[in-house]
Amino acid sequence: MKIVDIEVIELRVPGWTGETFDGSYDNCLVLVHTDEGLTGVAEVDSVPSVIRAIVDARRSHTHAMGLKEAIVGADPSDVEGLWERMYDLTSYYGRRGAVIHAISAVDIALWDLRGKVQHKSVGALLGTRQRDRVLAYGTVYPLGETTDEVRSNIDRGLKLGLKAIKIVADPFWRDDIDKTASLIRAARDHVGPDIRLMVDAATAWAKAEEGLPLMPIFKEHDFFWVEAPLPIDDLDGHARFQGFGVPIGGGDLGLTTHYEYEAAFERGKIDIAQPDVTMAGGITELRRIADLARRLGKRVVTHGYKSNITIAATLAFLSRHWMDEPCEYSTSQSPLRWHLTRESFPIGPDGRIAAPEAPGLGVSLDPETIAKYRVA
């Protein structure tokens, strides 16, 4: 079997302007086609036109070419070897950022293809199943500026069946500590003690001094982690959030590969790596990040805010992961979030979702949705 093409499909909901932080209203599918008619499917949380350029780029020289030129003609079964080949042959202009995003998508598609060829789920390819069902966590944004708004917005997550909810910091939090404390208290009072609460600062604080006063409040109300407190390059600032008894997570807003996560662990002192499988290097690199975290006594809690394709790839990993960590369950209202695949992943009464066990990722694309939102 040989790879004959890498196809990039750009999708976009009409009228979407990109003025809010939700990447679910456009999407980029990456399909790896073979000479035997089998196709691996993936998506990537990045700028679709940039991913297309990286896939289709003509060779400039031996270490600067597009992914299509790098691996078309190769045997798709050597997934890890092809990852190294793509990394090497794009190293002159890649190694981080959008090139790794593109490699991530091709890697996921190759794992999907491997599973289809072997008639096994990607999870089964990754190792011994540790659990059948994985806890889902979802994001609520905005949280609101009054206690009534807090209750109403959190109810959106509760109605989905979520037992773990991540709230997103607003810029005003750093300016009005008392108001922020009352809103956080309202959130905890509303969900009770049995629902996990986390906070995503989403780099709302430009410097550590803006976020540090809130840490005792998060500790008081039993928050499970604080995510992305500062811009990702401020590793020394991240280290200052230690010592409050609340784990600090990071990486979801741009870190790629285990090389960057090693610096975040060692210099930034983060407790939790939060890689997105569609951005950090695919399933192959996600495993390396997890191995690194285990050696250093750290955790991995994945990020993922696209469609059921991302959820399927993440579940394959988490169902085999050594720790029982939650899977992000996008709460976006975008039709591309909910209708891109024929399959769905409903949340059960226990707040968990079942890991797919069908061959490959266990998802199939919905042709009507693709036809409706495809960018010509």
pLDDT in tens, 31-77: 999 999 999 999 999 999 999 999 999 999 999 999 999 999 999 99
**DSSP 8-state assignment for residue 58:** P
Residue type, 1: M
Contact between residue 329 and residue 353 where contact means Cβ atoms under 8 Å apart:
yes
Contact between residue 339 and residue 366 where contact means Cβ atoms under 8 Å apart:
yes
Put simply, whether the predicted model's pTM sits higher than 0.85 gets the answer yes
> What is the H or E stretch that residue 291 is in?
helix 282-296
Could you report the per-residue pLDDT of 243-298, keeping only the tens digit for each? 999 999 999 989 999 999 999 999 999 999 999 999 999 999 999 999 999 999 99
The domain locations on the chain are 3-119, 125-361
What is the third-level CATH fold of 125-361?
TIM Barrel (3.20.20)
Six token digits for residue 136: 């889902």
Pick the CATH number of 3-119 from 3.40.50.300, 3.40.80.10, 3.20.20.80, 3.30.390.10: 3.30.390.10
Rounded distance between C-alpha atoms, residue 49 and residue 54, angstroms: 9
Contact between residue 155 and residue 130 where contact means Cβ atoms under 8 Å apart:
no
Task: Transcribe 98-166 into DSSP letters.
Answer: HHHHHHHHHHHHHHHHHHHHHT-BHHHHH-S---SEEEEEEEE----SSHHHHHHHHHHHHHTT-SEEE
pLDDT tens for the chain, 376 residues: list them.
Answer: 999 999 999 999 999 999 888 889 999 999 999 999 999 999 999 999 999 999 999 999 999 999 999 999 999 999 999 999 999 999 999 999 999 999 999 999 999 999 999 999 999 999 999 999 999 999 999 899 999 999 999 999 999 999 999 999 998 998 899 999 999 999 999 999 999 999 999 888 999 999 999 999 999 999 999 999 999 999 999 999 999 999 999 999 899 999 999 999 999 999 999 999 999 999 999 999 999 999 999 999 999 999 999 999 999 999 999 999 999 999 999 999 999 999 999 999 999 999 999 999 999 999 999 999 999 8
| Active site annotation includes 258 | no
3-state secondary structure of 70: helix
Given 33, 101, 221, 303, the catalytic residue: 303
What is the 3-class SS of 243-283, one letter each residue?
CCCCCEEECCCCCCHHHHHHHHHHCCCCCEECCECCCCCHH
Q: Counting beta carbons within 10 angstroms of the beta carbon of residue 271, is it exposed (0 to 12), middle (13 to 18) or buried (19 or more)?
A: buried
Contact between residue 60 and residue 94 where contact means Cβ atoms under 8 Å apart:
no
Burial 234-254 (b: 16+ CB within 10 A, else e): bbebbbbbeeeebbbbbbbbb
Residue type, 3: I
Rounded distance between C-alpha atoms, residue 219 and residue 37, angstroms: 54
Rg (CA), the chain: 20
